[in-house]
Copies of this chain bind each other. A is one copy, B any other.
């Protein structure tokens, strides 16, 4: 999806779900399902009918990797059995407490790192990469941008 958003930043016409599906080698319905999260978060907009499709709805500088992860779902990295009944075994309680503590720290770091990178940063990386290689968005000559 990152992939798609960056392409959208360099494309002033809407992308249809079908075009996006081709980029990701999947199918249009799956694309639409995934994009719902991004739309609800206000990162993209969709237009129906002829000439419709998906366009960016905000500045890439305002979207971080963490935002994308949350919008797309599945951002809970470690299932620490939240909401389950407290274990009756004292050993289990001790083990859970120790693991929770460790995993929370790791998750906190990851969240921090993901929140520190905006899509605008990635786009800047991409531009630098292209300049260094003398490429356009479609690659040097024969390569396909997907």
A residues apposed to B, CB below 8 Å: 2-3, 6-7, 23, 65, 77, 88-95, 97-99, 102-103, 105-106, 109-110, 113-114, 117, 121-122, 125-126, 129-130, 133, 135, 137, 139, 143-146
Contact = CB atoms under 8 A, between A and B. Distances in A.
A89 B95 CA distance: 45
Contacts of A105: 109, 113
Nearest to A2: B95
Given A65-B102, A102-B117, A105-B109, A144 B88 contact: yes
B91 A114 contact: no
A85 to B, nearest CB: 12
A6 B102 contact: no
